[in-house]
Amino acid sequence: MPSTRIETRKGWLGERRRDFIEAVQAALVAGIQIPEADRCIRLAEYDEEAFVTGPDKGPHYTVIEISLFPGRSIEAKRRLYTELVAALTPFGLAAHDLKIILHEVPRENWGLRGKPGSEIELGFKVDV
C-alpha cells in the first residue's frame, strides 16, 4: 500500500506522463510485490527554476519518494531500485539522474478507511 510521489522538471515527459506512472507502478509490483491494483502515484512537474539540482544532473533528473510500511527486506529494496531504473531508462532517464527515497512509516501512522493501518487486513505480504 505504498504512496509514491514522482518529482521532475516540466516538459520532458510530454504526452508520456501516464506511461511513466505506469512504468513506476510496474516496478513497484515487481520490486516489492504489491498487488497490481494497489495504486497511489502522483506526478509533480516543476518549472526549471523551481527544481534546482547540481551541475552533474541532467534535464530529466527525477526524484521518486515512496512511503511504505516497514518490513521489506534489503533484497526487495534492491530489486525495487533495479526495476525502477530498468522501467524508466526507455524514457531517456539515466540511472545517475534518478534518486529513490523510501520512507518506512509504521502501519499505525497510516489512516486507512477511518482506522489505523495496523488494524486493516492488507491482503498481501509486506515482509518480502
pLDDT in tens, 47-63: 999 999 999 999 999 99
* Average of per-residue pLDDT values in the chain: 95
Which three cell numbers, joined as nine digits, stand for 22?
505506469
Of 93 and 120, which is predicted with more confidence? 93
Using an 8 Å Cβ cutoff, are 1 and 38 in contact? yes
Fold of 3-119: Macrophage Migration Inhibitory Factor (3.30.429)
Which pLDDT does position 23 carry in this prediction? 98
3-state SS class at 117 = helix
All structural domains of the chain with their residue ranges:
3-119
pLDDT in tens, 73-117: 999 999 999 999 999 999 999 999 999 999 999 999 989 889 998
Q: Backbone phi, then psi, for 9, in 5-degree steps?
A: -80, 150
**Nearest Cα to Cα of residue 93 among 84, 101, 102:** 84
Q: Positive or negative CA dihedral for 53, 54, 58, 61?
A: negative
- pTM across the whole model: 0.93
Cell of 78: 534492491
- Cell 539515466 sits on residue: 94
The pLDDT of residue 124 is above 80 = no
For the chain, give the percent of residues with pLDDT over 90.
87
32 vs 39: CA distance, rounded Å: 13
